[in-house]
Amino acid sequence: MSDLQDQVAVVVGSSSGMGRATAIGLADRGAKVVLAARRRDKLEELASEIGTNTLVCVVDVEDTEQVEALIRSTLDAFGRIDILVYATGTNIPERSLQDLSYETWNMMINTNLTGAFYCTKAVLPVMRQQQAGLIIYLSSGCVQSPDMSGVSYQATKCGMSGLAHGTFKEEQENGVRTTVIFPGLCDTPLVFKRPTPTPPEVMAKALQPQDVADACLFVATLPERARVPELVLLPAGL
């Protein structure tokens, strides 16, 4: 694997969980990292931990102007964008069809899927001009094994596959690569949004955010001639 010295990575959803661990890992490998999420305090805390070559950008992925400003700020600071990691995602306790409302359905679609499209749409002109770029989407293991995470969550995570693979088909001649990573149960704050708490003995076997970050780093450090379309990462004990 190569290092990422002087490459520029934008991590959307880097304030916690998998995104946070991925941002740290990219910085450790030498990348300049743009930390993007809604919570400025968490981003600034992470930037202080990483040190130099970071940029904090507060962004709501449901707002196209804020997403486009994120890309402009990155270019102003670092001049290029080599990697985009879309690690933003949410779920709700009221996830059953009986409880799901039109409003919560739209919120889930906007955050988990439309936000990924907005970020993809905004970064592609940069990667086309460079004739190189990698987009990593963090989806969910529920795509391969449907579960009780809720139809809105599963629909958005399945939709990310279509976004990723369709983008690659259109943009591969421009040097753009895409990867979808499907993590299984992971010990992140999202677990606390489950309607019923997950038993401690189950969580003890869950993936850790660092495991997902390591998968992102594996993909990001491959040479440009190589592409991983999909990567399924599941807890070995569940």
User: The domain spanning residue 96 has which CATH number?
Assistant: 3.40.50.720
Q: How confident is the model over 42-53, as a mean pLDDT?
A: 95
The CA distance from 129 to 124, in Å, is 9
> Quick check: is 238 in a domain?
no
Report the domain count for the chain.
Answer: 1
> Quick check: is 88 in a domain?
yes
Q: How confident is the model over 4-33, as a mean pLDDT?
A: 96
Residue 43's pLDDT is what? 97
Whole-number mean pLDDT of the chain? 95
Residue 204's pLDDT is what? 95
Q: How much is the CA Rg of the chain, to the nearest whole Å?
A: 17
CB 84 within 8 A of CB 133: yes
User: Catalytic residue at 137?
Assistant: no
The CA distance from 220 to 83, in Å, is 8
> Quick check: is 141 in a domain?
yes
Residue 147's pLDDT is what? 86
Residue 134 pLDDT more than 80? yes
Please identify which of the residues 86, 118, 137, 153 carries the catalytic annotation.
Answer: 153
> Quick check: is 1 in a domain?
no
> Quick check: is 135 in a domain?
yes
- Percent of the chain at pLDDT exceeding 70: 99
Tell me the residue range of the domain where 183 lies: 8-233
Q: Tokens 């990593």 sit at which residue?
A: 136
The token duo for 207 is: 């993936």
> Quick check: is 191 in a domain?
yes
How long is the chain?
238
pLDDT tens, 143-198?
Answer: 998 888 899 999 999 999 999 999 999 999 999 999 999 999 999 887 878 888 88
CB 184 within 8 A of CB 217: no
Residue 157's pLDDT is what? 96
> Quick check: is 148 in a domain?
yes
Reported pTM: 0.95
- pLDDT class for 2, splitting at 50, 70, 90? low
> Quick check: is 2 in a domain?
no
